[in-house]
């Protein structure tokens, strides 16, 4: 195969027909026969030739790092300063949680400033020479390894990491604050949420009326035939959610009402917690929290569609199948003086996944 002095084959081209490349000029070869890429002429940047411009760029980089650090500190302050119920109005988004809004905004801005500082530093202050790096086997020979160490040292010196203490210190400060908001957010995994999950709207009053989630009507015992099921929520939930702007209460307070013959009830979580065979259970699966309303009236089995946990509602909500580790919490119910179904207190235990109960 003919060798063209200025039409090199790539080092691993093997038997490729170089003639097929026609007259394309990829460059020339060096003394070891390696292909040399044609590089454009190098242009000096203003920071290469003007020390005052370099100093100005250095201050800009430092300010960007300082802005990043301020944003991360602000994110921590927002997490501590706003309660989870505080709302702010944001155009196009409506009412959103103030804590979430400022956390997201400040962490996003902080990351942007950190990235901008790194890019500005690299583009303005680090060496801007063009270079070609050839492919080679993964382990270099001793010369290459020594040369790599030498280059690393030279790179460290040329980057200015050691000679520019202002940039170095502000960068280290910003990097130190960068993980702080993420660590602070872990506080949400601590013991505090346990209390929030323990309380639902059912416990706000001694007798909270139950409304049908579909029709919005108050539920009376005669609305539910034996074998039937109603998805229900506490009266006043709509108002609470409108004020708080969240779906938190709905997630915790949703229940299902089922009716069976009292003689079919094997056990309950409290003596006489049903009303004439009507039982109220949380609608939130105790595995990982999917809402459930798949009910088989013949077996009294409540089946979660997510991972098939099955609860026996005639036997105190016991788990009979699937990954859920805890029975479905039951709500004690009765009727008020006007004959409407009401809750008689809150759930006796937190609803939803059982993670928080682990010691």
Q: By CB under 6 A, is residue 304 in contact with ligand FES?
A: yes
Check binding of 290 to ligand FES (CB under 6 A). Answer: yes
End-to-end CA distance of the chain: 76
| Least distance CB 354 / ligand FES (angstroms) | 11
**Shortest Cβ distance from residue 97 to ligand FES (Å)?**
25
From the list 26-34, 120-128, 137-145, 318-326, the region that binds ligand FES by CB under 6 A is: 318-326
User: How does 204-225 read in b/e, with b if 16+ C-beta sit within 10 Å?
Assistant: eeebbbbbbbeeeebbebebbe
Tell which one of 229, 240, 251, 306 touches ligand FES (CB under 6 A). 306
Contact between 323 and ligand FES (CB under 6 A)?
yes
Nearest distance in Å: CB 292, ligand FES: 7
Provide, rounded to whole angstroms, the least separation between the CB of residue 328 and ligand FES.
10
- Quick one: 96 or 320, whose CB is closer to ligand FES? 320
Contact 257, 279 (CB under 8 A): yes
Q: Site for ligand FES (CB under 6 A): how many residues?
A: 11
Residue among 197, 233, 324, 344 that touches ligand FES (CB under 6 A) = 324
Yes or no: say if 212 and 230 are a contact pair by the CB < 8 Å rule: yes
Nearer to ligand FES (CB atom), residue 173 or residue 291: 291
State in angstroms the smallest separation of the CB of 285 from ligand FES.
3
Residue 134, judged by CB atoms within 10 A of its CB (0-12, 13-18, 19+), counts as: exposed
Q: Any residues with CB less than 8 A from the CB of 278 and at least 6 apart, and which?
A: 221, 224, 257, 258, 259, 333, 341
Question: What does the alpha-carbon distance between residue 230 and residue 212 come to, in Å, rounded to a whole number?
Answer: 7
Q: Rounded to an integer, what distance in angstroms lies between the CA atom of residue 329 and that of residue 311?
A: 11
Question: Which residues, including other chains, have CB under 8 Å from residue 310's CB and lie 6 or more apart?
Answer: 301, 302, 303, 304, 319, 320, 321, 322
Kindly indicate which of the ranges 56-64, 217-225, 316-324, 333-341 contains the residues binding ligand FES, using the contact rule CB under 6 A. Answer: 316-324
Q: How far apart are alpha carbons 346 and 331 in whole angstroms? A: 7
Sign of CA dihedral 170, 173, 179, 181: negative
DSSP-assigned beta bridge partners for residue 234: 210
Single residue of 120, 164, 287, 332 touching ligand FES by CB under 6 A: 287
Q: Which of 253, 309, 314, 343 binds ligand FES (CB under 6 A)?
A: 309
Contact stretch for ligand FES (CB under 6 A) within 31-39, 74-82, 213-221, 322-330 = 322-330
Nearer to ligand FES (CB atom), residue 119 or residue 294: 294
Between 113 and 295, name the residue whose CB sits nearer to ligand FES: 295
| Alpha helix segments (H runs only) across the chain | 46-49, 51-81, 98-124, 142-158, 165-177, 180-185, 192-198, 237-244, 248-253
By rule CB under 6 A, what string of x and - marks binding of each residue 226-265 to ligand FES? ----------------------------------------
Residue 128 or 289 having the CB closest to ligand FES: 289
The residue from 322, 325, 334, 355 that contacts ligand FES (CB under 6 A) is 322
The alpha carbon of 85 is separated from its chain's Cα centroid by a whole number of angstroms, namely 19
Spatial separation of the C-alpha atoms in residues 53 and 59, rounded to whole Å: 10
Positions that interact with ligand FES (CB under 6 A): 285, 287-288, 290, 304, 306-307, 309, 322-324
């Amino acid at each position: 195969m003919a060798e063209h002095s200025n039409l090199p084959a790539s080092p691993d081209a093997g038997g490729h027909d170089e003639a097929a490349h026609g007259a394309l000029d990829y460059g020339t070869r060096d003394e070891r026969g390696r292909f040399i890429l044609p590089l454009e002429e190098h242009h000096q940047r203003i920071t290469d030739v003007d020390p005052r411009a370099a100093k100005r760029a250095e201050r800009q980089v430092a300010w960007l790092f300082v802005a990043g650090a301020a944003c991360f500190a602000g994110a921590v302050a927002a997490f501590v300063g706003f309660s989870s119920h505080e709302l702010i109005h944001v155009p196009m988004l409506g009412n959103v949680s103030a804590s979430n809004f400022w956390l997201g905004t400040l962490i996003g801005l902080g990351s942007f400033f950190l990235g901008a500082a790194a890019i500005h530093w690299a583009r303005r202050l680090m060496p801007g020479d063009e270079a070609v790096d050839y492919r080679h086997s993964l382990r270099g020979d001793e010369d290459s390894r020594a040369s790599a160490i030498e280059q690393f040292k030279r790179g460290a010196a040329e980057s200015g990491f050691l000679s520019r203490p202002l940039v170095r210190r502000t960068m280290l400060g910003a990097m130190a604050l960068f993980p702080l908001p993420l660590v602070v957010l872990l506080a949400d995994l601590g013991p505090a949420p346990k209390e929030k999950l323990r309380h639902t709207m059912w416990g706000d009053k001694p007798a909270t009326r139950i409304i049908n989630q579909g029709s919005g009507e108050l539920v009376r015992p005669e609305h539910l035939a034996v074998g039937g099921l109603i998805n229900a929520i506490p009266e006043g939930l709509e108002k609470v959610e409108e004020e708080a702007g969240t779906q938190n209460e709905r997630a915790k307070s949703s229940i299902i009402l089922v009716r069976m013959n009292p003689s079919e009830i094997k056990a309950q979580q409290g003596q006489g917690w049903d009303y004439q065979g009507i039982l109220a259970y949380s609608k939130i699966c105790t595995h990982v929290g999917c809402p459930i309303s798949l009910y088989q009236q013949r077996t009294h089995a409540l089946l979660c569609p997510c991972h098939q946990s099955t609860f026996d509602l005639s036997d105190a909500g016991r788990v009979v199948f699937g990954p859920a580790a805890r029975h479905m919490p039951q709500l004690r119910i009765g009727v008020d003086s006007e004959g409407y179904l009401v809750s008689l207190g809150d759930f006796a235990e937190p609803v939803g996944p059982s993670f928080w109960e682990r010691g």
